[in-house]
Structure 1
């Protein structure tokens, strides 16, 4: 009787043990595959490169770029200077919101390219088809402006492989647009007709004059990776603030905040408190770590007043220390 009484107990113990093993295995599996990607540990770091490394790219695209982050990133501008865009009665300069780009980095397992292509609504289907026919991934599709004429879209792209093949694929996508040929920058900078010193003081950082605009690119404090590949700030993972003077000390502002999830609504509330409109909230990547959100905004007002309204939003994010 005692032996018989113990059998159910033993069976229950065995079942519990088997169940524990099954649950543990399931949890382990989910932790590595729930995102549909491999774990993102940032194990691949970009290496320093020279102009020679990117000659096949520049020859194919007919455009040159600039190095960033200790020559580990090569960024080629793809500005839509061919478009005449209006938003809320403001003639949008290309540098305010029409500055597409392609960024290249060399890793131990291949070359990565990311980009943001500015395309018209008519061009978008053809660009999409060209990207997918050449092995690129589209990782975002969105707008930067609330009211715009003509309708413009921004699509983020990503590719990995041989640099020449990547350049050929990118060129096929660009050929589906009316993007203007690259032009040399002007010999002299256009004056920035706003109180740049006051803006710097309000934001607690130093901006840069660029073609009559005043700009900030602010890196986050964290190391950012995508599918295990470390992305230096020049890859486009910075908070961008652009001021375009519109006369009488006023400016139109546009750009995007790069945020982690816990910062999103704090920044929205700070912007709205300052009278700044929220345009778009979306992701740029599919397998980034930490997972980032990009929040676009718009306002027209006294430039220093806008800078003061932006400051609480900046302070709600984990930015790298000001230099």
Structure 2
């Protein structure tokens, strides 16, 4: 796949890259202890298959506000604390792959750019808890992670890549669970993580300022970014409601367009993330990105039963940050989103 992104790899190497568009497969998850050893497996309930006529009350149910205390058993099962969204609708726990040394296009990938696993939980009025997430795994880790998930009650809804021409080979597996017992789902995720080298949580260090003209990037994207560990990040939510089988999905569950800038020196940045689009927006967004020399990595679904159906497109470039921000801004305006705030 050729590109004018200026990432320095040469046409021959780019031509060797594959645009891996992988379909989703339904599989299912369970259990683990703070020491890293697996406990007796707890069985969580798998999400029911979406029904063709499932457009009524279940899909319009809104998630309910919760407190940090509500999710402490989940944090204990996962072996690390999470963060509750400001509106109380989503409890999200991150598992950055600080153990991996991944390079793409001669760029050393920081965990905050593209190597962050997570699990997010949301509760509905009938007591159902929905869990969604994404696990970053090496190629060798993927089969045992799949087996651990299959042993419990959490589904894999997509398996694909977020980066081009990277070493070692890394895969991203989206996960989904639903039922009355979020602890069982958390135990399952923990058991899957124990099949990887994902490290325990680390004490946060100093946050370096990104060596970028962030004001110019903000202006190009029409939003204010945030500095997370030296990675400059943006998040945009869909302007229409997106629902799953159990109700409306809050944006913090992962139903967003995410854009990340990792400074690479001299005003340049590596960019990665994904656009969340309905079908008719896919081609205009591709065109806007390609006009700025940004490469397309993947186009795929993350969920099995979302309505309206969303397609996610991962992208990559390493070039002048201002040039990339202008192209990304055009792509943002080509689909129906607004800043998450």
* TM superposition score normalised by structure 2: 0.82
The residue number in structure 2 matching 1:15 is: none
Task: Decide which of 87, 90, 103 is 2:120's aligned counterpart.
Answer: 103
- Give the match for residue 45 of structure 1: 62
Q: How far does the alpha carbon of each residue in 1:153-186 deviate from its partner, in whole angstroms, 9 at most, with x for none?
A: 0000001120111111111111111101011322
CA contact (8 A) 1:81 1:94 kept: yes
CA RMSD of aligned residues (A): 1.5
User: 183, 190, 194: which is aligned to 1:175?
Assistant: 194
For structure 1, the 5+ residue unaligned runs are 1-33
Cα offset, 1:40, TM superposition: 3.5
Measured after TM superposition, the shift of residue 37 of structure 1 is 5.0
Q: Residues 55-93 of structure 1: CA distance to partner in whole angstroms, max 9, x if unpaired?
A: 111111111111115111000011111100000100000
State the Cα distance separating 1:105 from its structure 2 match. 0.8
| Structure 1 residues 123-144: Cα deviation after superposition (integer angstroms, max 9, x where no partner) | 0000001101111111000000
- Aligned 8 A contact 1:40 1:288 in 2: no
Instruction: Establish whether residue 297 from structure 1 lines up as the match of residue 315 from structure 2.
Output: yes
Q: Which runs of 5+ in 2 are unaligned?
A: 1-48
Q: Which moved more, 1:205-214 or 1:61-70?
A: 61-70
SS at match of 1:199: helix
1:31 alignment counterpart: none
Comparing 290-299 and 104-113, the one that deviates more: 104-113
In 2 relative to 1, CA 215–222 (structure 1 residues): closer, same or farther, beyond 3 Å?
Answer: same
Q: Comparing both structures, which one devotes a greater share of its residues to helix?
A: 1
Q: Which of 82, 91, 94 is matched with 1:65 structurally?
A: 82
Tell me which moved more, 62-71 or 111-120: 62-71
Q: Does 1:199 align with 2:224?
A: no
Stretches (4+) displaced over 6 A: none
- Cα shift readout 1:257-287 (whole Å, capped 9, x = no counterpart): 0000000011111111111000000000000
Distance 1:149 1:251, change over 3 A: same
Work out which structure has the larger RCO, using CA pairs closer than 8 Å and 6 or more positions apart in sequence.
2
Compared CA separation, residues 196 and 178, structure 1 to 2 (3 A): same
Query: Residue in 1 aligned with 2:185?
Result: 166
Contact 1:204-1:322 at 8 Å conserved across structures = no
- 3-state SS of the aligned residue for 1:297? strand
Equivalent residues of 1:38, 1:227 under 8 A apart: no
> For the Cα contact (< 8 Å) 1:69–1:233, is it kept in 2?
no
**Preserved CA contact (<8 Å) 2:223 2:339:** no
Secondary structure of the structure 1 residue equivalent to 2:99: coil
Please say if residues 63 and 122 of structure 2, whose CA atoms lie closer than 8 Å, have aligned partners that are also in contact. Answer: yes
Instruction: Identify the residue that residue 8 of structure 1 maps to in structure 2.
Output: none
Q: By how many angstroms is 1:203 displaced?
A: 1.1
Q: 1:63–1:76: 8 Å Cα contact kept in structure 2?
A: yes
Q: Distance in 2 between matches of 1:100 and 1:40?
A: 31
- 38-47 or 303-312: which moved more? 38-47
Q: SS state of the match for residue 47, structure 1?
A: coil
Q: 1:210 and 1:164, CA in 2 relative to 1: closer, same or farther beyond 3 A?
A: same
| SS in structure 2 of the partner of residue 205 of structure 1 | coil
Q: 1: distance between equivalents of 2:55 and 2:153?
A: 22
Aligned pairs, how many?
289
